[in-house]
Structure 1
Amino acid sequence: MFEIIFKHYGDAANLKKYLEVESCQSWLHETLFQQQKHYVVSINQLEENGQSVVKQLAMFILNSKRLDWASTILSEFYLYNDPHEQEQILQIMIEMFNGERPELVQLLKEWDEEQFLLENLEGITESDGPVSFDSFVKFRLKKLEERTMEYVDIAIDEYKMEQDYQMFIHMLREYLSSREKKMDIIHLYFSSYGFTFYDQFFEELTREKLLSLIDKRLLTNHPLYVDSYTIAPLLSLAPEKILVYCDQPESNLIRTIQNIFEERVQIFPSCSFPIRGISEAVNE
């Protein structure tokens, strides 16, 4: 019988759930350890389930305890005590763990966390006596805790950037709501050179024409945030509809246009642009 001792009931109960995934027989009970109430998970130590126990311990630490450590770091080191803020930052970390934020993970030094954990857990089930989880973390997993701090740092920076972006979008939506439309429809054709503007009759709006239509307050008040080639002209014209022709609708600029203008925007593939040959002409 292998036993692992926890300070907190929630940790013990959580590990027991992970063990149940692999049908590892286990029991949870209270005990006194170092004159304090602790919680013990006793695991039926069958030779054939040894690897399953180690695997589920690793998953418990990677998927559950790392987030607990991150939450503590946010509260104690960065004073993020608001539950809503914590939730958003932790969600960014979860996405990093799941491989959904590769651009953020690339900011970290490459390191195989799972392999590190499995190596340190190797042989744990063969311990002669109960294993204190907190002591094990302190002496064997310090490097993983430090790695978690690095994840937190990156997630906080990303959270702040996303908050700034949302404020930026909100500000421009408010500006747009107070702006009288100058055109009913704008057609935007996207190529490797950027956007080309056309009016509702498919007459091209030259760069000079667009610059003359821009509300100069946009560039004066928000020079670092407003793109003078695309966003500023669109906001100044405040069209009722914006028809975008592109083959990369997931690009940051197009996503920003959609976020600002919302239901006014419609996306079409480049090949559907009505002017014959425009795709070849723009890309030459």
Structure 2
Amino acid sequence: MELFTITLPASIEQALAKLTALLTDSISDDLHKAQGSSRALIRYTPHTGEIVSCEAILPHFQLASHGTAVYRSAAKAVAEFIVTEMEPHILSAIIRRKYREHYAVDAPMIEKYCHELLHGSEWDGLGTKFLDADKQRRKLKVSEEIEHYLQGHTSLHLDGFTMFRLQPYRKELAEIVDYALDEYVLDKQYQEFISLLKYFVGLQESKVPLVHLVHKGNHEFVMYNEKFQPFEPKPHSDRMVAEMLETEMNIEDMVISSLIAVSPKQIMIHTRQSDMQVIRTIETIFDNRVSVCLQCVDCSPCFDVANNGLIQP
């Protein structure tokens, strides 16, 4: 006896095989093993046209006894499929629809930002536990709606269901898209600003031969001259550049403003964290003027290895 059918989107590679496997594994865990018997009560069968059917095996299957477990396990499997396989396509469709009139929007880049927000670097420092918990929350939101739907319908078309039924889930993804666009615009503006700084640096004449920039840790730097003596740079003489730096630079990047004011011919960065964003930004702006030192005779006395910090020379 056929209980229901699920129609999958043809745009997803091997969708039929993936969903059939998820459904089969889920029913095995939630129903067959729970019955404590090797007797099968449900089977899922894939068909041409991207359709998979749920068939009850009579006379052992009893809808009153087993129906709730079947709908719950199917909803869990379909939710896993939607969040894992369909979510990138749903995000892409939301982006195209929301910004189809905005030709300057780079849709693939917005999709990349969405992926980072949902799965990537935004979760750095929190650990995979929080990332997995957020994904599980989205799956639970989807599975609850699917379970309720299957209890009253015999046909589930995933494209239509995700388009018209999963409104709370789609609203959440739409908010992710909006946030990703904001991040994209801010990053694009910052990159344009960095390019402008690089242009100004290229026009400037060098004022000092060498600057040693010692990274004390976190976002704290100390500047030394070519004799490794500390000095404080004067504000930039170009008023337009000075105002631009004051307006646009983050607090952690104010060292860049100091370097531009000094306009050194060469910059030697002494650090134990060469992959920091501010250091990469300095390398971008000053290009081949920059050298990075991880340990040398000059800077070694500055670093207190035992305390993982820095002592003044």
TM-score by length of 2: 0.66
Pick one of 165, 176, 200 that aligns with 1:175: 200
Structure with max Cα Rg: 2
Aligned length: 262
Question: Contact 2:114–2:176 at 8 Å: present in 1 too?
Answer: yes
**Change in CA separation of 1:222 and 1:281 when aligned onto 2, cut-off 3 Å:** closer
d(CA) in 1 for partners of 2:111, 2:169: 17
Q: How does 1:1-284 map to 2 (within 5 A)?
A: 2-6=4-8, 9-11=10-12, 15-19=15-19, 27-30=46-49, 40-43=50-53, 57-79=78-100, 82=103, 85-102=106-123, 112-122=137-147, 129-137=154-162, 140-191=165-216, 194-205=220-231, 207=232, 210-211=233-234, 214-226=237-249, 229-269=254-294, 273-274=298-299, 276-277=301-302, 279-281=310-312
d(CA) in 2 for partners of 1:222, 1:213: 9
d(CA) in 2 for partners of 1:84, 1:29: 38
Structure 2: gaps of 5 or more residues: 25-43, 58-69, 304-309
Offset of 1:16 from its aligned partner?
1.8
Letter of the 1:76 counterpart: R
Moved over 6 A (4+): 50-53, 123-128
d(CA) in 1 for partners of 2:237, 2:228: 20
Offset of 1:157 from its aligned partner?
0.6
**Change in CA separation of 1:277 and 1:240 when aligned onto 2, cut-off 3 Å:** closer
Name the SS for the 2:247 alignment partner.
Answer: coil
**Change in CA separation of 1:266 and 1:17 when aligned onto 2, cut-off 3 Å:** farther
Question: Contact 1:66–1:145 at 8 Å: present in 2 too?
Answer: no
Identity %: 21
Offset of 1:52 from its aligned partner?
8.2
**Change in CA separation of 1:212 and 1:89 when aligned onto 2, cut-off 3 Å:** closer
Name the SS for the 1:73 alignment partner.
Answer: helix
**Which residue in 1 is equivalent to 2:30?**
none
d(CA) in 2 for partners of 1:218, 1:237: 13
